[in-house]
Chain A
Amino acid sequence: MREHGRTINASAALWVVRIDRGLTPAETVALEQWLARDVRHTGALARAQAAWVHADRAQVFLAARELRDSRSTRAWRAAMPWASAAAVLLCLATVFWAWQGYSQTHLATQVGEIRRVPLADGSHITLDTQSRVSVRYESATRLVRLESGEALFEVAKDPGRPFVVQAGNTRVRAVGTAFIVRRHSDVDVEVTVTEGTVDVWRETSAPEPAIRLAAGNRTLTTPLEIAQPQELTGAQLAGAVAWEGGVIDLNGRTLADAAAEFNRYNPQVVVISDPRLAAQTVVGRFQATNPLAFVTAAAAMLDARVRTDGNRLVLEPRPRVQK
Chain B
Amino acid sequence: MPVISTERARWLAAHVLPLEPQLRGWLKRVTPSGLEVDDLIQEAYAKLVALATVSNITQPKAYVYQIVKRLISDHIRRANVVSIEAVAEAAQFSVLEEGMTPERILSGRQELERLYQAIARLPGPCRSVFVMRKIDGKPQKAIAAELRISENVVEKRMSRALRLILEELQASEGELEHGSSADRSERKDRRDA
Mark A residues whose CB is within 8 Å of B: 4-6, 8-10, 13-14, 16-21, 23, 31, 35, 39-62, 64, 66-69, 71-72, 74-75, 78-79, 126, 178, 194-195, 215-216, 233-235, 237-238, 241-242, 244-245, 283-285, 297
Mark B residues whose CB is within 8 Å of A: 1-4, 6-14, 16-17, 36-39, 41-50, 55, 58, 99-106, 108-109, 111-112, 115-116, 119-120, 124-125, 127-128, 130-141, 146-147, 151, 155-156, 158-160, 162-163, 165-166, 169
Is the pair A44, B42 in contact by a Cβ cutoff of 8 Å? yes
B residues near A5, Cβ cutoff 8 Å: 36-39, 41-42
Main SS of the interface on chain B?
helix
The 22 listed contacts between A and B (C-beta, < 8 Å) are: A5-B39, A9-B38, A21-B141, A23-B2, A39-B43, A40-B42, A43-B42, A46-B9, A48-B163, A48-B166, A50-B45, A51-B13, A53-B13, A54-B115, A55-B115, A61-B119, A68-B127, A71-B124, A71-B125, A75-B128, A78-B136, A285-B11
Given the known inter-chain contacts A42-B49, A242-B108, please indicate yes or no for A54 contacting B17, CB distance below 8 A.
yes
Is the pair B119, A67 in contact by a Cβ cutoff of 8 Å? yes
CA distance A64 to B2 in the complex (A): 32
B residues near A69, Cβ cutoff 8 Å: 124, 127-128
Is the pair A51, B108 in contact by a Cβ cutoff of 8 Å? no
Is the pair A9, B163 in contact by a Cβ cutoff of 8 Å? yes
Is the pair A53, B165 in contact by a Cβ cutoff of 8 Å? no
B residues near A234, Cβ cutoff 8 Å: 99-101, 104-105
Among candidates A9, A46, A244, residue contacting B4 with C-beta atoms closer than 8 Å? A46
A residues near B12, Cβ cutoff 8 Å: 46-47, 49-50
A143 → chain B, closest Cβ, in Å?
24
Chain B CB within 10 Å — which of A23, A51, A56, A233 has the most?
A51
Is the pair B162, A48 in contact by a Cβ cutoff of 8 Å? yes
Is the pair B111, A17 in contact by a Cβ cutoff of 8 Å? no
Is the pair B8, A46 in contact by a Cβ cutoff of 8 Å? yes
Residue of B nearest to A68 (CB): B131
Is the pair B43, A244 in contact by a Cβ cutoff of 8 Å? no
A residues near B8, Cβ cutoff 8 Å: 46
A57 → chain B, closest Cβ, in Å?
6
B residues near A55, Cβ cutoff 8 Å: 115, 119, 130, 134, 162, 165
CA distance A233 to B104 in the complex (A): 12
A residues near B11, Cβ cutoff 8 Å: 285
Is the pair A17, B155 in contact by a Cβ cutoff of 8 Å? yes
B residues near A42, Cβ cutoff 8 Å: 45-46, 49-50
Among candidates A14, A75, A79, residue contacting B155 with C-beta atoms closer than 8 Å? A14
Residue of B nearest to A284 (CB): B7
Given contacts A21-B155, A47-B45, 8 further A-B contacts (CB under 8 A): A4-B38, A18-B155, A21-B151, A46-B8, A55-B119, A58-B131, A67-B131, A237-B105
Given the known inter-chain contacts A19-B3, A68-B131, A245-B112, please indicate yes or no for A74 contacting B146, CB distance below 8 A.
yes
Chain A CB within 10 Å — which of B1, B12, B45, B50 has the most?
B45
CA distance A48 to B158 in the complex (A): 12
A125 → chain B, closest Cβ, in Å?
13
Is the pair B159, A10 in contact by a Cβ cutoff of 8 Å? yes
B173 → chain A, closest Cβ, in Å?
17
CA distance A215 to B158 in the complex (A): 40
CA distance A20 to B101 in the complex (A): 36
Residue of A nearest to B144 (CB): A21
Is the pair A43, B16 in contact by a Cβ cutoff of 8 Å? no
B residues near A297, Cβ cutoff 8 Å: 7
Is the pair A53, B102 in contact by a Cβ cutoff of 8 Å? no
B residues near A39, Cβ cutoff 8 Å: 42-43, 46
